Amino acid sequence: MAYDEDLADRIRELLGPTVSEQRMFGGLAFLIGGNMAVAASGQGGIMVRVDPAESDRLVETTTATPMVMKGRPMAGWLRVPTADVRTEQQLEKWVTIGATYAASLPAKSAKSAGGKRRRSA
pTM exceeds cut of 0.95: no
Is 83 exposed, middle or buried, given 0-12, 13-18 or 19+ CB atoms closer than 10 A?
exposed
Burial of 105 (0-12, 13-18, 19+ CB in 10 A): middle
* Coil vs helix vs strand at 55: helix
Over its length of 121 residues, how does the chain's per-residue pLDDT go in tens digits?
689 999 999 999 999 988 999 998 789 999 999 999 999 999 999 999 999 999 999 999 999 999 988 899 888 999 999 999 999 999 999 999 999 999 999 998 765 545 554 533 3
CATH of the structural domain 5-104, one choice from 3.30.1460.30, 3.30.420.40, 1.20.1540.10, 3.40.50.300:
3.30.1460.30
What pLDDT is attached to residue 26? Answer: 85
